[in-house]
């Protein structure tokens, strides 16, 4: 946890918090989540041995930000030592999972008749379960890999919270499924046996066992997410009403999920020079100032509020990001 009382306006405390294993970066669309998470990843890579940056935003921006192609597997970022990145699709539905078993599995499902489609119906009817499944896949992958720190660049707000809810959702769903199988397991087994068994010689019990394993993994991860020493969430916002509103809501919800958050990045601040003739810039600066005061008032005591300037050029490419990332650690000095 960050030091009490003295909240510095940089992400240095997060860098110093060596116990951290998961960092989530989230906020409304277009506030600079990806830039922030990339910058944080770059800074973290300097402080830790190995860092993995995962984008769960369906609109994958990591590739754009770093100017190189990432995919479903972790790939090292050239130019940044100890940093790897990957992009996953949280919308990868359970259909993928089913079709991953090939046509065999599909046919088997149909072969099962009522029971098979019942499973499919169930899988679709539990909200978030398909996303949870793909999340679980990622977690399994990530668990196998030895990274000191994993940074999630999450999708815009609503999505983020659902994503964080997944462990609980999946746990509930699997609980139901186990209860069901305890009741009807024998019957289902008989049905499966009558149809000649599941593909690849699996038995129904094996499938259930796999699900049980999955549930345990997820329960474990859930516990980790709720531990403030291991996990933190960094909201990114811009000093505008809607962004502020969403952020406040998000912080409250994170509190309900018992997920720690103690740093906020306020992005895209304008610092026009005193004698600037640009009317729009000055008006906008005035508006931003108003919200900045509110932010300081509301979060200043409990959060590291990091203020990032709006640059004149796009933050793209490793060099640009590295330069930008320094401002996360050393507060930006506005020119007079």
CB of 328 within 8 A of CB of 8? no
- Choose the binding region for other proteins from 21-29, 122-130, 237-245, 273-281 (rule: CB under 8 A): 237-245
Rounded to a whole number of angstroms, the minimum distance from the CB of residue 301 to other proteins is 11
Q: Which tokens hold the place of 294?
A: 């509110």
Residue 189 interacts with other proteins (CB under 8 A): yes or no: no
Residue 245 interacts with other proteins (CB under 8 A): yes or no: yes
| Active-site annotation, residues | 57
How many residues touch other proteins under the rule CB under 8 A: the total is: 12
What order of strands is seen across the sheet that includes strand 22-26? 75-76, 83-87, 51-55, 149-153, 22-26, 231-237, 263-269, 304-309
> What residues pair up with 149 in beta bridges, in sequence order?
51
- Cα(227)–Cα(193) distance, integer angstroms: 44
Who contacts 66 (Cβ-Cβ below 8 Å, separation ≥6)? 38, 77, 85, 317, 318, 321
- CB closer to other proteins, 119 vs 303: 303
Binding mask 272-311 for other proteins (x = CB under 8 A): ------------------xx-xxx-xx-------------
Which of 64, 89, 248, 302 is close enough to bind other proteins by CB under 8 A?
A: 248
CB atoms closer than 10 angstroms to residue 102: 12
- CB closer to other proteins, 124 vs 241: 241
Q: Which tokens hold the place of 24?
A: 């989530």
Rounded to a whole number of angstroms, the minimum distance from the CB of residue 294 to other proteins is 4
Query: In the block, which residue shows the tokens 């050393």?
Result: 330
Q: What is the DSSP pairing of strand 83-87 with strand 75-76?
A: antiparallel
- Choose the binding region for other proteins from 63-71, 118-126, 201-209, 243-251 (rule: CB under 8 A): 243-251
Contact residues toward other proteins (CB under 8 A) are: 241, 244-245, 248, 252, 290-291, 293-295, 297-298
């Amino acid at each position: 946890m960050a030091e009490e009382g003295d909240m510095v306006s940089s992400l240095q405390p997060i860098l110093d918090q060596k116990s951290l294993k998961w960092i989530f970066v989230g906020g409304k669309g277009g506030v600079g989540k990806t830039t922030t998470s990339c910058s944080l990843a770059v800074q973290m890579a300097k402080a830790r041995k190995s860092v993995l940056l995962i984008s769960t935003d369906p609109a994958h921006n990591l590739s754009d930000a770093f100017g190189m192609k990432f995919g479903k597997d972790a790939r090292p970022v050239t130019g940044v030592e100890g940093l790897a990145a990957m992009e996953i699709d949280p919308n990868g539905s359970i259909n993928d999972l089913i079709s991953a078993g090939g046509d065999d599995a599909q046919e088997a499902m149909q072969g099962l008749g009522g029971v098979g489609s019942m499973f499919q119906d169930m899988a679709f009817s539990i909200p978030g379960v398909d996303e949870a499944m793909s999340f679980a896949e990622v977690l399994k992958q990530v668990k196998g890999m030895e990274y000191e720190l994993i940074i999630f660049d999450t999708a815009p707000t609503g999505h983020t919270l659902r994503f964080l809810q997944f462990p609980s959702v999946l746990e509930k769903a699997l609980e139901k499924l186990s209860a069901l199988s305890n009741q009807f397991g024998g019957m289902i087994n008989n049905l499966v046996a009558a149809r000649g068994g599941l593909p690849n010689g699996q038995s129904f019990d094996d499938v259930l066992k796999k699900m049980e394993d999955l549930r345990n993994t997820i329960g474990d991860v859930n516990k980790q997410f709720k531990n403030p020493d291991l996990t933190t969430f960094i909201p990114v916002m811009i000093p505008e009403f809607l962004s502020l509103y969403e952020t406040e809501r998000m912080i409250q919800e994170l509190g309900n999920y018992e997920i720690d958050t103690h740093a906020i990045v306020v992005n895209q601040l304008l610092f026009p020079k005193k004698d600037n003739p640009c009317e729009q810039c000055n008006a906008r600066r005035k508006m931003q100032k108003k919200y900045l005061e509110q932010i300081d008032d509301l979060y200043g005591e409990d959060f590291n509020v990091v203020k990032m300037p709006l640059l004149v050029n796009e933050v793209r490419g490793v060099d640009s990001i590295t330069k930008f990332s320094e401002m996360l650690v050393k507060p930006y000095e506005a020119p007079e």
